[in-house]
Amino acid sequence: MEEQTKPADVEVRIQRVLEDLRAIQHELNWAAMQVPANPEQREALSELVEAESLHALKSALDQMRHFLWFFMQVASNDSEFGERLRDVLRQRVANDAPRPKGTFLERLKLATDHALVRCLLENKNQKPN
């Protein structure tokens, strides 16, 4: 099992990520605004849109958004839905399911997808977004 991270460490990392995301957004926004005035910039922006790294960032942000919804539901002490999610997680650990192979993001997506499907099947009136 990985070392447990202190909440203060997570907060520092979140702030660093937020700063990086803001900087990336600012740079992409600036590049998009330059397109009409600069044909060379248009070609560079077109290449960036097709870049694997941009698609990977979008995918990671989408997965993180889903995971954060899931985490906030589980971490909410006053949520009946959160308690159900915790029960599903406990049951899965108790069943000692084999760990899937793949990258961290693939495993994260598999785990959150599994938990969401189970919870949505149990309570069809609840929606994740």
CB 107 within 8 A of CB 100: yes
Residues 6 or more apart whose CB falls under 8 angstroms from that of 106 comprise 100
Domain membership of residue 37 (yes or no) is yes
For residue 124, is pLDDT > 70? Answer: no
**63 with 122, same domain?**
yes
Q: What is the mean pLDDT of residues 68-87?
A: 73
**25 with 72, same domain?**
no
CA atoms within 13 A on the CB side of 93: 6
Euclidean distance between CA atoms 5 and 53, whole angstroms: 28
**78 with 46, same domain?**
no
**32 with 71, same domain?**
no
**40 with 62, same domain?**
no
User: What confidence score (pLDDT) does residue 78 get?
Assistant: 65
**16 with 67, same domain?**
no
Domain membership of residue 42 (yes or no) is yes
**110 with 91, same domain?**
yes
Domain membership of residue 75 (yes or no) is yes
What are the residue ranges of helices labelled H in 51-122? 52-75, 80-94, 104-122
**123 with 75, same domain?**
yes
Q: How many domains does the chain have?
A: 2
For residue 24, the enclosing domain spans 7-50
Domain membership of residue 2 (yes or no) is no
Of 34, 50, 66, which residue is a domain's last? 50
Domain membership of residue 1 (yes or no) is no
Work out the percent of the chain whose per-residue pLDDT is above 70: 71
Name the amino acid, one letter, at 109.
K
pLDDT, averaged across the chain: 77
User: What confidence score (pLDDT) does residue 64 get?
Assistant: 92
**87 with 115, same domain?**
yes
81-116 tens-digit pLDDT: 667 766 776 776 666 555 556 777 777 777 777 776
14-23 tens-digit pLDDT: 999 999 999 9
Q: Running DSSP on this structure, what letter comes out for residue 3?
A: P
Q: Give how far Cα 18 sits from Cα of 11, 12, 30, 61, Å.
A: 10, 10, 18, 12
CB 69 within 8 A of CB 129: yes
Query: Lowest-pLDDT range, 13-22, 31-40, 45-54?
Result: 31-40
CA atoms within 13 A on the CB side of 86: 12
Split at pLDDT 50, 70, 90, the class of 1 is very low
**46 with 63, same domain?**
no
Q: Look up the pTM and report it.
A: 0.56
